[in-house]
């Protein structure tokens, strides 16, 4: 969509005109509402409630201007209950509107036939995906006499749509419902639609609950298909009729759209039908382009990490911690991230953002790293134990008394997290990445301590730059030179602990 929209913008055009081409574009007179470039929209209705309640909902939609409604069926105890809904709707609004039903392949063959016998007199435009077994669709068409529409059947097609759809050329298949995002792209959608038109079937563009941004592109693409259908009719000397509505009524179901003035404000009653204007759809896209930063930031604000400082005194140490936080402060789940040697709280920023909708996420510059400083008031040793005690006091400072937290630690941070988890009831779980309780054999521990002391002397005597070059040239890091991507696999363990 982005590429097509960019091409259209470059030519100071819109999607439908871009696809039709300047020579084939239908020239319309300005100011004539009948010739306004637009497509009809079908309303989507859930069948929850009694027959009277559903019929009243449909009646309100008809008063609003909708001449086609689609109802979700096969969600009640028996198909007869669904048929009673259709009966009540016809009694309430009459036969001036089109009614389509969508079973989403939930019925057995026997149940679908039971429904078909009960609704024969109610003039359904089509029954969408009535049965589970794809191989019985044609049989259902012939025995029920009801027009059928395909939808989920398209999802199983991989590659060659032309040959696969040939077996559905049966006249009982009245419509092909196409979700562009499911079939792959607009090219596949256009191919399937053309096959439908050539076999005298409706090609209906349908939404998979996309935002008004996508729906606005679908409006323009549906208009392109409308012109294609008109051309097919002219070529075959057949009567052109504009009697089908596209399944874009899901805009009414969106609680919060990414565009303030989305499609809900641009579907209007024209000529007794609810229609969406191509021009208005293009305006929606242009408005989104102009204000995308503002619009996107509205949805990312809860993920933006804030920074603050907290001073902690514990024993003979005083530390000023730099703390980074994302997610809602009131969230009952709190995850605290501890970085490794030479790292900072920034190392965790992408992972914090990805979890911030489900937890309060906090990362800390461990004392001596980043912007956290530590000072000894008196002679004392800075160790895993003393740093752990400082961090525990910090956690108590920034969380409620009864709140328990999950620690996520990497390398040096993993060792600190492990020590904290073993020594405090405040910690309800810990994710330990590249850390361990230590070496079992005394001889191995002595060797490791000697190596650590040697590295410490190197750091003190030759400075950080030389130490870092030596450190990252070791075999330990040869696998991970491509970055911290390997840490992302541990997100699943965090989710497990939170649940």
The residues carrying an active-site annotation are 70, 179
Burial of residue 182 (number of CB atoms within 10 Å: 0-12, 13-18, 19+) = middle
For residue 131, which phi and psi values (nearest 5 degrees)?
Answer: -130, 160
CB 140 within 8 A of CB 131: yes
Dist. CA 321–CA 369, nearest whole Å: 10
User: Of the candidates 309, 316, 435, 328, which has an alpha carbon nearest to the alpha carbon of residue 372?
Assistant: 309
- Closest to 196 measured CA to CA, from 155, 156, 148, 237: 148
**252 class by beta-carbon count within 10 Å (0-12 exposed, 13-18 middle, 19+ buried):** middle
Cα separation, 207 vs 102, in Å, equals 14
Query: What size, in residues, is the chain?
Result: 499
| Nearest-angstrom CA–CA distance, 59 and 53 | 10
How many C-beta neighbours within 10 Å does residue 22 have?
9
Distances (CA, A) of 125 to 72, 84, 201: 14, 17, 12
- Cα 385 to the chain's mean position, in Å? 44
Question: Reading across the β-sheet that carries 126-128, which strands appear in turn?
Answer: 43-45, 68-72, 98-102, 126-128, 148-150, 173-178, 202-205
CA distance 44 to 206: 11
Report the distance separating Cα 448 and Cα 451, nearest Å: 5
């Amino acid at each position: 969509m982005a590429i097509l929209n960019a091409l259209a913008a470059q030519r100071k055009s819109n999607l439908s005109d871009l696809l039709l081409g300047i020579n084939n574009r239908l020239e319309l007179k300005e100011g004539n509402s009948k010739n306004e470039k637009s497509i009809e929209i079908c309303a989507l209705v859930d069948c929850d409630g009694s027959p009277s309640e559903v019929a009243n909902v449909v009646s309100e939609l008809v008063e609003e201007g909708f001449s086609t409604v689609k109802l979700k069926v096969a969600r009640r105890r028996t198909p007869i209950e669904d048929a009673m809904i259709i009966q009540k709707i016809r009694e309430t609004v009459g036969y001036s509107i089109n009614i389509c039903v969508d079973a989403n392949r939930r019925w057995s063959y026997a149940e679908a036939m039971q429904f078909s016998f009960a609704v024969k007199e109610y003039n359904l435009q089509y029954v969408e995906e009535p049965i589970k077994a794809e191989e019985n669709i044609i049989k259902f068409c012939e025995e029920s006499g009801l027009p059928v529409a395909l939808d989920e059947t398209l999802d199983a097609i991989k590659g060659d749509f032309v040959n696969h759809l040939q077996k559905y050329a049966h006249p009982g298949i009245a419509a092909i419902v196409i979700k562009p995002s499911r079939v792959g792209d607009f090219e596949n959608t256009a191919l399937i639609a053309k096959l439908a038109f050539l076999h005298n079937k409706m090609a209906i563009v349908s939404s998979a609950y996309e935002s008004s941004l996508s729906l606005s592109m679908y409006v323009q693409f549906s208009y392109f298909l409308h012109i294609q259908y008109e051309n097919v009719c002219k070529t075959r000397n057949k009567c052109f009729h504009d009697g089908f509505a596209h399944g874009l009524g899901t805009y009414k179901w969106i609680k919060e759209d990414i565009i303030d003035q989305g499609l809900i404000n641009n579907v209007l009653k024209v000529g007794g039908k609810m229609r969406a204007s191509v021009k208005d759809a293009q305006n929606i896209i242009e408005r989104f382009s102009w204000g995308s930063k503002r619009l996107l930031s509205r949805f990312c604000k809860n993920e933006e990490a804030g920074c603050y400082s907290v001073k902690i005194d514990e024993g003979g140490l005083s530390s000023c911690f730099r703390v980074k936080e994302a997610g809602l402060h009131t969230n009952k789940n709190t995850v605290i991230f501890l970085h490794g040697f030479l790292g900072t709280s920034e190392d965790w920023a992408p992972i914090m953002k990805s979890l911030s909708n489900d937890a309060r996420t906090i990362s800390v510059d461990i004392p001596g790293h980043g912007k956290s400083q530590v000072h000894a008031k008196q002679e004392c040793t800075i160790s895993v134990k003393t740093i752990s005690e400082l961090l525990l006091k910090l956690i108590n400072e920034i969380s409620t008394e009864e709140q328990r937290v999950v620690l996520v630690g990497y390398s040096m941070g993993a060792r600190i997290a492990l020590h904290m988890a073993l020594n405090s009831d405040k910690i309800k779980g810990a994710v330990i990445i590249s850390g361990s309780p230590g070496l079992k054999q005394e001889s191995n521990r002595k060797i490791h301590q000697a190596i650590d002391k040697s590295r410490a002397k190197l750091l003190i005597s030759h400075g950080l730059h030389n130490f870092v070059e030596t450190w990252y040239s070791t075999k330990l890091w040869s696998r991970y030179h491509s970055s911290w991507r390997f840490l992302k696999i541990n997100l699943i363990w965090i989710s497990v602990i939170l649940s």
